[in-house]
Chain A
């Protein structure tokens, strides 16, 4: 089946969420990936939302991480401290984030463009819960389109910690050990992080994409995995489920 970039990213992301694990998601593509994963791969994946929804039977895509869909027929209609404390305690395996800029260590900017915090060129919403989730959850993933403005050598503001300045930096800063960025899923490739340098390393390239195109769309030097592969394209079953059950009104997948 034919598919667009957004469908590709959501399908690939859904495969990384293991059964019987816990994920905190926001709205949009991350939520779609978690819902798809529940339906195709990991039926016992526990989905949480930062505003307090725990284990909902999501009837449709939420518009807000605090709207009533996020705790529809849920196990718990909890609170933000409850969810954040569960993350800080070390019980949450995955989270998904977005952002305006990302650097080679997976640090994310969702606060501002410019150099003067008092008069930013462009102001974005800020951390929301992103900094918290990336600090506490074991594995942080991103779903994002890839271009040189977004994937940049130096981001204007580190809203959310990746590996900060490299190996050992998170621990030195006081962040919980063994946590950090895990995968970045883009419209061009799947990127992991090199164990020794904590820098972004391309693991698989999407079908039909040239290596050169990935280099052109990245503002820093990428590492390449020794066993670099071609990403498995979305299966018919993934696409059918995504289109018919997860996002029938194409709120998310229709945009790309």
Chain B
């Protein structure tokens, strides 16, 4: 509750929140406008860098981050590994469809607060023991939301407004442990739930194609990335491949993130591994199973993290540990349903 009132006290507004949950980010649209006016580059300049440099420069301890994709689908895994390697601390997280991404950040003890719509599980693959423990012990502070609520919180921010009225969560404990406010429609009198805009300090998104300026194209479903990109104060893009600007201009209807939203671009082939990247490679289910298995014993898991994250220099090093190109080719064949 403290945080919720902190933002309100600053501007002398009294809300009566219907939820007990904390609000971790300031929904103020004018403060965001000011930031976007002063801090977002308008000039189309080259923004390519390395993963470790981008994490050093753009992610600070204590920041609140939003992760693109859907758990283990088009997730920016290379950046998350680097966040763990650089031992970033006290991060806030939008736990929107968070599965393997949450698991990685918990493994590095990077997160201390979370807006939770979906956490601690990996869908049909099962629950993550370490992620569960981190939440059950109270080590991570939780405010409850739903997938739609978090999606629309990004959308409010992307629209440049401080809240949106929605019709989910009403009447449930999910509402009670959220940081939403019940309101009445001024036109119809209908009851709505106001959800606050979510402006992450840093958004991290993996895409199929980007040019050096940060114009990005994504193939397949967008999940919430078009809004996350617009809501984020700073935005890190990893891309399967860098392409010439003319490739973007040839097919502008596929461009979902324009350069002026982007702060850093890094070419990371297979950057979504061990997740699925549509039309590129399927998820490595064997490796994800190994993760879940290793978590059951602390020593085994420490070794596992040493082998795959701490003991390697960068993401390419990680890909070597899982079988390199040979394994990645298998996943590509699996993704594209090629019969051999």
Q: Which residues of A contact B (CB under 8 A)?
A: 26-28, 50-53, 59, 63-68, 70-71, 77-81, 84, 87-88, 107, 111, 117-132, 135-136, 157-161, 164, 169-170, 172-176
Chain B residues with CB below 8 A from A128, complex form: 97, 117-118, 146-147
A75: min CB distance to chain B, Å = 12
- Chain A interface helix/strand/loop/mixed: loop
A77-B221, A128-B146 given; 20 more Cβ-contact pairs under 8 Å: A27-B123, A28-B124, A51-B221, A52-B223, A64-B99, A65-B123, A81-B152, A84-B151, A111-B173, A119-B136, A124-B121, A124-B127, A125-B121, A126-B95, A126-B117, A127-B146, A135-B167, A158-B174, A161-B171, A170-B171
Chain A residues with CB below 8 A from B276, complex form: 64, 67-68
Chain B residues with CB below 8 A from A87, complex form: 148
Q: For chain B residues 242-283, which have a beta carbon within 8 Å of chain A? A: 276, 278-279, 282-283
Q: Are B283 and A64 in contact (CB under 8 A)?
A: yes
Which listed residue (B117, B137, B219, B227) contacts A127, Cβ 8 A?
Answer: B117
Nearest-CB residue, chain A, relative to B152: A81
The CA of A63 and the CA of B282, in the complex, are separated in Å by 10
Chain A residues with CB below 8 A from B95, complex form: 126
The 0/1 profile, CB within 8 Å of A marked 1, for residues 55-88 of chain B is 0000000000000011111000000000000000
The CA of A84 and the CA of B169, in the complex, are separated in Å by 13
B interface size (C-beta, 8 A):
66
Nearest-CB residue, chain A, relative to B191: A174
Chain B residues with CB below 8 A from A161, complex form: 170-172
The 0/1 profile, CB within 8 Å of A marked 1, for residues 150-187 of chain B is 01100100000000001111111110010000100000
Closest 6 CB pairs of A and B: A173-B171, A174-B191, A66-B70, A52-B221, A132-B148, A125-B121
A200: min CB distance to chain B, Å = 18
Indicate the member of A28, A53, A79 with the most B CB atoms within 10 Å: A79
Q: Does B205 contact A (CB under 8 A)?
A: no
A204: min CB distance to chain B, Å = 29
The CA of A12 and the CA of B123, in the complex, are separated in Å by 24
Q: Are B147 and A67 in contact (CB under 8 A)?
A: no
Q: Does B93 contact A (CB under 8 A)?
A: no
Nearest-CB residue, chain A, relative to B281: A68
B274: min CB distance to chain A, Å = 12
Q: Are A66 and B116 in contact (CB under 8 A)?
A: no
Chain A residues with CB below 8 A from B221, complex form: 51-53, 66, 70-71, 77-79
